[in-house]
Amino acid sequence: MEGEDVFDEEGDEMGFLQTEWKRSMEKRLKEGYLNGIDAGRGNALQSGFNLGYKLGVNMLMPYGKLRGTLSALLTWYQLHNPEPPATAKLNDLLTAVCQCEDQLLKCLSSMSQAPHPSDLSSTLEEMNLGCSGAGGVLEEESSCTTDQNCCRNKDPLALSLARCRTSQQLHDTARQELCRIAKETLSVAEHLNLPEGILYYIQSLQNITYN
């Protein structure tokens, strides 16, 4: 009987150890799983931030330079020779730059939040899961739905930017508008007989390339 008691005690102890081992392993696995999720989220957030920062800086910095140039020209000209036509034109160009910056920020924000319906449509087509419109394909949502103000105001720039479905299209549209405003700024600067150095700098803004 004593031998049986010893075996029973050893069996109970082994069972207890196995149970504790199992609990410990489950706890470690759970901790590892949670740590993995946290690390994955951290990496995803950092990658998203890096991409968003790069896109934002590359597209907005040239506009910032042009806005600063226009502000300086406007201030200088108002002090030295406040000719109404030139002052009004510089004001218009400065307003256009500020509007471009605002629209770009809105577009960058909306791109980071959700995919465009056309992107979903392309994905569904590749998977042979096109939804039923008249032709069995997901119908594209109006480009203005990303910014209803652009529809009401009929702002050509807002409409153009709202139609951009990818960051590359947004780059191209932003660059075209930047070049247009810089070209008009250069024309005003030449009319005002500004020094060659200033003219060269304004001209260089048209040649800025986005990385």
Average pLDDT, the chain: 67
3-state secondary structure of 199: helix
Q: Is the pLDDT of residue 129 over 50?
A: no
DSSP calls for 88-103:
HHHHHHHHHHHHHHHH
Return the higher-pLDDT residue of 185 and 141.
185
CB atoms within 10 A of CB 125: 14
Q: Are the CB atoms for 155 and 53 separated by under 8 Å?
A: no
Helix (H) or strand (E) holding 156: helix 156-162
* Spatial CA neighbour of 50 closest among 100, 112, 1: 112
Express each pLDDT in 130-160 by its tens digit.
444 434 433 333 343 444 443 334 456 566 6
Q: What is the Cα–Cα distance from 51 to 64, expressed in whole angstroms? A: 20
Q: What is the pLDDT of residue 108?
A: 72
